[in-house]
Structure 1
């Protein structure tokens, strides 16, 4: 008697692009107990609890978003449809040095309020302290997989507090021990944002010392390069390369791409990175396919006013005797102060409007208005750095799109949305990054096999996610099924919370998380570690 194989899910009649960059092929995939157990060129006799007919659409590994800011909001919006609808099955948290473990209870409460304009302030229990405890908050409780990085900000808070002091001596040794423990507890990298606080208080030597621990753990140094400077100017790209070379750590650049002023200048922005790569520095990078950015308005405040953390900063914002000094600091910031509001819980009437427009309406200068809004909103002020209206015809702005594809043609590039999932109308990158790039493949003739490799295997390899990023027997059943002829993003700057089209199924650890473009309510995500 012919023995019938019993599986949980059979996906049949698909065009398989396996994540390795190899050419596509027709095939069928069987999944059991969350793992791929068979990849067949022709359908065999299988009894399955669920049969999915791909109808000759593409079957690919689930996408890995290498840069997101869902650290808190994912614990509140556990379904995370914004990511699932894009085909994302894994997100890498702890970005830019701005996250919440390891932190003592008092530092956690303070940083929760301090970062609310970036990571949100959902009503969730803040009941962890270690990297392990924080990672486990996402294990089996959310719809996608997560991986976590030890954040630089936490190391400084736990050793020096929010103070502009050098991290040296016993404090440095303590910080290195905390970092080492975090990496050994499952974190996949060490992240910093040298434009954010308290990370901005650091110098190059500090980062070298910390990154020696990264190298000892065969891990990765992930950097949002420096844009906040003291008296001296530093080339932030060369600084990052120097940190990697002196420490021996692997280096990863966050959201590194051209923009509208630099469109067509890929060789210019990559020249120093290319030289370092050619001499053997282990470098990777990521991008999202939008020329504008987004962030939280605390970035414009001067270094001195951050000392002491949230409560001290709020007192300074409220002190009329310090207002002129604060305004001067904002005016002297190396990042020009300006943008369009995306997140203001108490002043939602300003969302979508420019800083200049709102300041004129209030009869203030932009820096003065910004100080008042930060005070009124308890720092919860989010922004786009450019006018949303400018970018509504971005699809016709080919040079930047082509730059993204030229960068992604390099084998060490990957995709990271830099999603900030808060506000009524956040940046569309959090809802459209992955389908947008799939659409670019169709419109610009870019290899779909190459693009999927950059979305899957490249980040999995970089961050040590050993059974992810490929369609391979024994690997996790993280799978996306999409129509390459019709997949597209619909999120715009004017209406960002809009789901893509053409991504019909998403499986996370063998569980169907999206069925016929609708989320199913399954929470099959696991907390991944470096393997």
Structure 2
């Protein structure tokens, strides 16, 4: 048999947590067709990759990423490929673009521009099926899509702080059911983001009954506040899962600088739910701060009715005092560094405090003006504890302690937008591989969390392991040298030590350089 690719001389870590073993991996027609411990004589292949001294693993699955729109613009997606990522799960936090009517898609594209950009792509879809097709064999990586809660609300009750009940709820459930049947792998929400956060617990339970009927997964970015009253968002998520019967997945759940070293405390309700049989999983990224889009700092009334109405309120100086008070009262603290600005590029990389001081404004007043000047297209990362290395070190250890749990996986929460985005979009996976070397974490366990655990959760039965018959999504890396180089101050920096990446049997990275191959497929949940 003539093969397309043969990876020779490497140690295979197959994704199952079993011990590594030396073997050659043979690829033909996009599949792994043979794994042989003994070298085959007279092998004929289009390409032979020498993996001597290296690890051969399944392609990494990024279970949480915001590349929805930029991936349709920058289809090569080098920031993901260079990390060894072969599949990304899109539609996160309830903030994505299907199913949406033409008018709602146009509005939401402008409203979410600070998160996903607004490049000159076609924007010519309405259903989940049509949106997923945009990514099929047109981009460099595989994609998985989730039906976003925000889209369901826009298509039923609009961008309004009103209950989703009655006929509106019936329509929302029908749209959710249709999207799941059209290949979406899960239902996502971001209960700190509008319009998702206008919902209540009962709304989420009712929607998740449709998720359960489809044997799918409820993916939640936890709520930060509910109607101004303190509550436990973890318990809310567990209640939604238990009352609806849906499988539960927590987005980017980890310790923070405020909770560093308190893994048992932050996990107590989740561990208890897992022990009593709740079907749950979680993901994390290995950094001490997050990133987002600056619209989230505005109070809920300020963004009702969407993009145009939000800009009009920002222009209205009679509302400015109330707007600023709302920002100060928001449970999402208005602190950070700018990552994406088109009209004020001089502020990129600088802190809100420094920019406000330079402009002679308070931080809330400055944020209002910047949002207005940029027409909401403002990205930021939350300021990490630059001057507290002990906190960084503890969070690193917490990350590994969390990943020792069998129901944890890896999601970068990467936002590949802006001149200096959060480094997680460029360094998450090699950073964790480096942690294995530096902290003595078992590499076989880490690879499992990056591959099979994620594939199992999202129903990707032909991915996640190095196994005959599986899709040939493969990574070749040097365990002794792999490392991230992206930092908060210089994030667009590729990792080192990941030499080759195959997507559906095609070489997408060769000798640490992307090849220009667009072999990605739009993957469906398999039952």
What range describes the TM-score normalised by the shorter chain of this pair? over 0.9
* C-alpha contact (below 8 Å) 1:481/1:503 kept by paired residues: yes
Alpha-carbon distance between aligned partners in 2 of 1:356 and 1:488, rounded to the nearest angstrom: 32
1:48 CA drift (Å): 1.0
1:199 to 179, 196, 201: 196
Task: Choose from 25, 28, 31 the match for 1:29.
Answer: 25
Deviations 1:367-413 (A, max 9, x none): 1111000000011111121158447x68x942111100000000000
Q: CA deviation at 1:245?
A: 0.4
Residue 465 in 1 paired to residue 436 in 2?
Answer: no
1:522 aligns with 2:517: yes
* 1:26 partner SS: strand
Asked if 1 retains the 8 angstrom alpha-carbon contact of 2:225 and 2:231, the reply is no
Contact kept? 1:389, 1:494, Cα under 8 Å: no
Residue pair 1:118, 1:382 contacting (<8 A) in 2 also = yes
Q: Which residue of 2 aligns with 1:71?
A: 68
Equivalent runs, 1:10-409 vs 2, <5 Å: 10-45=6-41, 46-387=43-384, 389-390=386-387, 397-409=392-404
Deviation at 1:449, TM superposition (A): 0.2
* Residue 473 of structure 2 corresponds to residue 489 of structure 1: no
Structure 1 runs not aligned, ≥5 long: none
TM-score after normalising by structure 2: 0.98
- Is 299-308 or 20-29 further displaced after alignment? 299-308
**TM-score relative to the length of structure 1:** 0.98
Mapped to 1, the partners of 2:258 and 2:197 lie a distance apart of 26
Contact kept, 8 Å, 2:70 with 2:119, in 1: the verdict is yes
Does 1:8 pair with 2:12?
Answer: no
Equivalent residue number for residue 498 of structure 1: 493
Question: What is the alpha-carbon root mean square deviation over aligned residues?
Answer: 1.1
Question: 1 CA distance for matches of 2:59 and 2:7?
Answer: 14
Q: Secondary structure at the match of 1:221?
A: strand
- Summarize deviations over 1:180-235 as a string: whole Å, max 9, x none: 00000000000000000100100000000000000000000000000143132221
Q: Is the 8 A contact 1:388 1:493 kept in 2?
A: no
Aligned residues: 525
| Matching of residue 455 in structure 1 with residue 459 in structure 2 | no
| Deviation per residue, 1:395-449 (Å, 9 max, x gap) | x942111100000000000000000111110000000000000000000110000
Distance in 2, Cα, partners of 1:429 & 1:92: 15
- Structure 1 stretch displaced more, 259-268 or 29-38: 259-268
2:248 is paired with a residue whose SS is strand
* Structure 2 unaligned regions, length at least 5: none
Partner Cα separation in structure 1 for residue 21 and residue 340 of structure 2: 45
Q: What is the CA–CA distance in structure 2 between the aligned matches of 1:430 and 1:356, rounded to whole Å?
A: 25
Q: Does 1:446 align with 2:441?
A: yes
Comparing 256-265 with 196-205, which one deviates more in the overlay? 256-265
Render the CA deviation track for 1:92-137: whole Å, top value 9, x for unaligned.
0000000000000000000000000011111101000000000010
Residues 125-159 of structure 1 deviation map (CA, whole Å, 9 limit, x = unaligned): 10000000000100000000000000000000000
Q: Which residue does the alignment assign to 1:513?
A: 508
Question: Alignment partner of 2:47: what SS?
Answer: strand
